[in-house]
Chains A and B, each alone.
Chain A
């Protein structure tokens, strides 16, 4: 369960949506699709910060919540005096009200069932990493810089991928020269920066998503900063004091040592559960991927191949995917695959203020109807307003 409410942010006047495992949003250009995607991603990240820190972590200070969102995605001009964002999962709920500059949160009963996600926003201009060799020195938005850093990590991990997406081409990352290369199906080698616009869009997305859905679990990175260690100690003591401290009697049957501290348990099952909870907080369990326009520069059958591949890849770790698209091929292929937990959203003009947009979520029946009756949602969304 993941509920998101947005009021008065950028072109979005109102959104009240329930996210599934696979989510897709369509709508006219500049009607707020990316706003919804970015806010959903920001809220997932805030939830992660709150869970790992087990405190409001500075978000409660004035407009910190919205300021972080605005600076990260370069959206300062989107904030309005009556902006409101509310977010709720099974673990917690929080909301930010810009008119009062207040952020408030509440833990829920499933607070300790949280599973740490790797959260990634994949921007539409991702092909910059392929087209501009010196991208790491450019001055860019934070979200783009973070995507570039993630892509860099992913390509260093992957190094080579044969016949990616069944396209008959091989991807190679040369660690010595720090260059990305392609070997075409005719054997001809090519630098990625010399490749077609389609390849330059597809490869960074594919390599990054491959890492998120699979590679990261084999990529050993146990380094942690002093701040992270301190945060983990705080997390451990919060889990222990909230769930177990009062129940334990000396002498302890089991001592759990973690992050340099010992925690005593009078029953083995408590110690086991304590380890499990902590493990879910510190080890990445799944990914939450927010993807802008995967169709960029791609031949329609390749768009369909990509959708088939990513929907299959998500199943390995129950990843969440949220796509903003202008492509009927992407939408139809998602509908055709009909994932179990699918949510389809579209933007439409507000009846109150025609310059603003609202977000509507199709019901399960409507999603089925759109597919079965061949409704082209890009031309017919008004039937569902």
Chain B
């Protein structure tokens, strides 16, 4: 059956897409780099509700200067555009490190899923074209989905997707504080 599509949710990379699709149980609008995510926010979604999910380790994008930071965890920062109903979630230093850190903190050995536990090996697989559908990653996500930051990401995205223009900043801050 065809996936439901949440095209206003735009992650920037293959493994990011896989994780976000896993968390939302829906297809999302994969863009192939962070500047593409921001480009779509500024053009196609100009005045519409949208969520961008990008790594923080890249060049600081001008769009970030148009946003205010609402909440943060060790790896995640939730930002909202000052004027528009657009949200940006940045992952520091990058999605690969974030997933590996979550696995480590949950005492999950990624090699159980045939995924290298070192960053270089992990990135080699996560950057491949097939990683947005790779079932090995799906299995890993299922194993780490109780990690607090994964849950925060999931709940924040669920709230945003459900409420869209009526998303409640207070609720989002509360989600990020782990409540």
Contact = CB atoms under 8 A, between A and B. Distances in A.
Contacts of B2: 383-385
B31 A369 contact: no
A177 interface: no
A226 B150 CA distance: 77
B43 interface: yes
A385 B133 CA distance: 13
Interface string A360-385: 00000000010011111001101111
Interface in B2-49: 2-3, 5, 7-8, 27, 29-32, 36, 40, 43-45
Given A379-B30, A380-B27, A382-B133, 11 more contacts: A373-B7, A373-B29, A373-B45, A374-B29, A374-B31, A374-B40, A374-B43, A376-B30, A379-B31, A382-B27, A383-B5
B43 A383 contact: no
Contacts of A383: 2-3, 5, 27, 29
A374 B133 contact: no
Output the residue of A369, A383, A385 with the most chain B CB within 10 A: A383
Contacts of B5: 369, 383
A376 B10 CA distance: 11
Please provide the 4 A-B residue pairs with the shortest distance between their CB atoms, ordered closest to farther: A374-B44, A373-B7, A383-B27, A374-B40
B8 A373 contact: yes
Interface string B48-75: 0000000000000000000000000000
Given A383-B5, A384-B2, A372 B31 contact: no
Nearest to B31: A376
A376 B13 CA distance: 12
B44 A373 contact: yes
Nearest to A28: B129
B127 to A, nearest CB: 13
Given A369-B7, A383-B3, A375 B133 contact: no
Contact of B30 (A369, A380, A384, A385): A380
Given A379-B31, A380-B29, A382-B133, A374 B3 contact: no
B27 A374 contact: no
B32 A375 contact: no
A188 B30 CA distance: 45
Interface of A: 369, 372-376, 379-380, 382-385
A376 B32 contact: yes
Nearest to B37: A374
5 contacts: A373-B8, A374-B31, A374-B40, A382-B133, A384-B2
Contacts of A384: 2
Contacts of B27: 380, 382-383
Contacts of A373: 7-8, 29, 44-45
A385 B132 CA distance: 15
A380 B44 CA distance: 16
A383 B30 CA distance: 10
B7 A375 contact: yes
A384 B32 CA distance: 18
A376 B44 CA distance: 12
Output the residue of B2, B29, B45, B133 with the most chain A CB within 10 A: B29
Contacts of A385: 2
B35 to A, nearest CB: 13
Contacts of A380: 27, 29-30
A374 B29 CA distance: 8
Output the residue of B27, B132, B133 with the most chain A CB within 10 A: B27
Output the residue of B7, B8, B45 with the most chain A CB within 10 A: B7
A379 B7 CA distance: 13
B54 to A, nearest CB: 15
A376 B32 CA distance: 8
A384 B29 CA distance: 11
Contacts of B44: 372-374
A385 B27 CA distance: 11
A178 B132 CA distance: 53
Output the residue of A369, A374, A375 with the most chain B CB within 10 A: A374
Nearest to A379: B30
